[in-house]
Chains A and B, each alone.
Chain A
Amino acid sequence: MNVASALFTGTGQSWNSVRVLLLAAALLALPQVFGQGYYLNTLNFVAVLALPAIGLSLLSGMCGQLAISHGAFFAIGAYGSAILNVRLALDPLLATVLTQAIVAVVSAAIGWVVLRLRSHYLAIATLSFSIIVEVLIKEWPRLTGGQQGMTGIPPYQLGPLQLGSDAAVYYVYWPVTLLMFWFALNLAQSRIGRVLRAIREGEPVVDSLGISVARHKAMIYIVSSVFAGLGGSLYAHFVGFVTPATGSIMFAIDIIMVLALGGFDRLWGALVGIALITLLNEYALGFADYKRIILGAGLVSVMLVFPRGLLPGLFDLGRRHLRGTAK
């Protein structure tokens, strides 16, 4: 009982490792129990889409900076990988690494200019950036394929292993996503995470302690954008094509809604939220057609019942219930 409850409430980086390892073990066991069905394909999408969600949770949930550029960086990740790979014939792995370097440089440049602004200006400025990226993708067909997008993006080749099947992708993508997730969890509980949470509470006070708010905001914006960019690269080499719909502004807004649903300040909320939406999208009949209506209505209901988001709300409920039964 004690260990079980500590598993949910224990803090500290060791608990992060324990929880992530347990999740990894469960994911590893899944194909052994259920076989290699089509559901692995869906879970691969969860692994890919979790990355921008985790990134945004770090930036918006922890540090309180709302950015709408995560769709754009997902797109830059996907198109960067596609262009370097298809047009310049670079190895997918090399293309992915180079693309993240590009994402880091672009986000550093934006962060430098934009993060001097306070949060709602940040939202507007990153929205403008997203529009520019979307226009560039549509209007530069020689580079991006324009409205048609690009096809024939090959999967990753790791030595003799080609990630051509859902199962192969599953066994490589999930460890990558879990590693990034574990990194984010550790960061959240470190001295840097503490500064980010303090920035959400009051920027001038952080400055008055000799801690540079501007530097930390820029740092987490870059990290957060690279999470989104990596998701984009993994996506491109998984599905094999990119179109202007990849990482559109609506995609960014979907992720923000997922975070609101799962609980903005919980990294686990980002993971659970994205898994929930992706699974519903795939398996709930008609969900995809009415996704935004259902998501919107769901979000409003969750906000009314659990203002802090679904996961924290359920946790509070569970704790109250436990306390009730204990008496």
Chain B
Amino acid sequence: MLSVQQVGKSFGGLAALSDVSFGVSPGEIKAVIGPNGAGKTTLFHLISGLLRPSAGRIEIAGRAVTGLSAVQIARLGVARTFQQPQIFRTLTVLENVMLGGHRSGRSGLLACGLGLPAARAEEHRLADAAREQIDFTGLAGSAGRIASELPLGQQRYVEIARALATGATLLLLDEPAAGLDDTETGQLSELVRRIRARGVTVLLIEHHMDFVMGLADSVLVLNFGVRIAEGTPQSIRESQAVIDAYLGTTEDA
């Protein structure tokens, strides 16, 4: 599904990521963990095309996407959420999610401006499809609300619904559980499993260890821009390199 090969990114000589390689198989839930500044969000920016890698190669579904723009990569079926939820604040929840499905519509400038029946019918289809995603993510009561009025946790769900509405096959979630309490985290885990059950591959960044360990099929650990471990949650929990990265080595102490 996703293959990252020896990818590096430096900002003016400072390496944020170097020589990172890993793969995500179709239908997998993979987590990326690591201390702050490990390069996790940079990695997401590279995969989604917001930044271009300085080195290496990224393939999505067997297709090289290195150097493609964010728009082109999104059109290949990659959708993402952001660490700080990036919703369209003055639009309603429904409008936010309809934007996810925008590309399934065809009406052009004239059809829209003249309010042609075809454009109106398409608008209804878009709204119906968006409502499905809104129900799926459990936001049913909020469809008509202005998105910025929702609490932060629900704004994340708006982002997820919008991402799903694009019809993406690879979903990148950047710290979806940040700021959630235990009950909410549990609901989120359940949602991510349901997303996977729909055939969507999930790659997520998270600090919340219980969430990651209970949900992910495999875990990638980054530290200072370098891959230090990859494997099942169980093997990561027992890895000395990971424990050192998080707690510091005895020599440092």
Quick check: is B122 within 8 A (CB to CB) of the other chain? yes
Taking a contact as CB atoms under 8 Å apart, the answer to whether A212 and B71 are in contact is yes
**A17-B115, A208-B74 given as contacts; is B79 within 8 A of A201 (CB)?**
no
Quick check: is A223 within 8 A (CB to CB) of the other chain? yes
Q: When chains A and B are docked, how far (Å) is the Cα of A202 from the Cα of B105?
A: 21
Chain B residues 163 to 200 lying within 8 A of chain A, measured CB to CB, are 166
With an 8 Å Cβ cutoff, the count of chain A residues facing the other chain is 29
Chain B residues 94 to 127 lying within 8 A of chain A, measured CB to CB, are 95, 98-100, 102-103, 105, 107, 109, 112-115, 119-120, 122-123, 126
With an 8 Å Cβ cutoff, the count of chain B residues facing the other chain is 35
Binds A, one of B33-41, B82-90, B221-229: B82-90
**A194-B95, A201-B88 given as contacts; is B112 within 8 A of A208 (CB)?**
no
What's the minimum C-beta distance from B41 to chain A, rounded to whole angstroms?
13
Quick check: is A296 within 8 A (CB to CB) of the other chain? no
List the B residue with the shortest CB-CB distance to A201. Answer: B88
**B contact residues around A212 at 8 Å (CB):** 71
SS of B interface (majority): helix
Q: When chains A and B are docked, how far (Å) is the Cα of A190 from the Cα of B126?
A: 11
Q: When chains A and B are docked, how far (Å) is the Cα of A16 from the Cα of B86?
A: 31
**A contact residues around B9 at 8 Å (CB):** none
Taking a contact as CB atoms under 8 Å apart, the answer to whether A194 and B115 are in contact is no
Contact indicator per residue, chain A 10-27, by CB within 8 Å of chain B (1) or not (0): 000100110000000000
Taking a contact as CB atoms under 8 Å apart, the answer to whether B113 and A207 are in contact is no
Taking a contact as CB atoms under 8 Å apart, the answer to whether B102 and A208 are in contact is no
Taking a contact as CB atoms under 8 Å apart, the answer to whether B70 and A186 are in contact is no
Taking a contact as CB atoms under 8 Å apart, the answer to whether A202 and B71 are in contact is no
Q: When chains A and B are docked, how far (Å) is the Cα of A191 from the Cα of B118?
A: 12
What's the minimum C-beta distance from A179 to chain B, rounded to whole angstroms?
10
Taking a contact as CB atoms under 8 Å apart, the answer to whether B99 and A210 are in contact is no
Taking a contact as CB atoms under 8 Å apart, the answer to whether A208 and B113 are in contact is no
**A contact residues around B71 at 8 Å (CB):** 207, 210-213
What's the minimum C-beta distance from B102 to chain A, rounded to whole angstroms?
5
Chain A residues 36 to 67 lying within 8 A of chain B, measured CB to CB, are none
**A contact residues around B166 at 8 Å (CB):** 209-210
List the B residue with the shortest CB-CB distance to A197. Answer: B91
List the B residue with the shortest CB-CB distance to A190. Answer: B112
Quick check: is B30 within 8 A (CB to CB) of the other chain? no
Q: When chains A and B are docked, how far (Å) is the Cα of A202 from the Cα of B75?
A: 18
Taking a contact as CB atoms under 8 Å apart, the answer to whether A198 and B91 are in contact is yes
List the A residue with the shortest CB-CB distance to B159. Answer: A205
Taking a contact as CB atoms under 8 Å apart, the answer to whether A208 and B79 are in contact is yes
Q: When chains A and B are docked, how far (Å) is the Cα of A204 from the Cα of B74?
A: 12
Taking a contact as CB atoms under 8 Å apart, the answer to whether B99 and A195 are in contact is yes
Contact indicator per residue, chain A 174-188, by CB within 8 Å of chain B (1) or not (0): 000000000110110
Contact indicator per residue, chain A 192-235, by CB within 8 Å of chain B (1) or not (0): 11110110011011111111110000010001000000000000
**A contact residues around B88 at 8 Å (CB):** 197-198, 201-202, 205
What's the minimum C-beta distance from A53 to chain B, rounded to whole angstroms?
17
Q: Of the candidates A197, A205, A207, A211, which one forms a contact with B102 in the assembled complex, judged by CB atoms under 8 Å apart?
A: A211
List the A residue with the shortest CB-CB distance to B98. Answer: A194
Taking a contact as CB atoms under 8 Å apart, the answer to whether B99 and A219 are in contact is no
Q: Of the candidates A16, A17, A187, A211, which one forms a contact with B112 in the assembled complex, judged by CB atoms under 8 Å apart?
A: A187
Quick check: is B69 within 8 A (CB to CB) of the other chain? yes
Taking a contact as CB atoms under 8 Å apart, the answer to whether B98 and A223 are in contact is no
**B contact residues around A193 at 8 Å (CB):** 112
Chain B residues 204 to 218 lying within 8 A of chain A, measured CB to CB, are none
- Residues of chain A having any CB pair with chain B under 8 Å: 13, 16-17, 183-184, 186-187, 190-195, 197-198, 201-202, 204-213, 219, 223
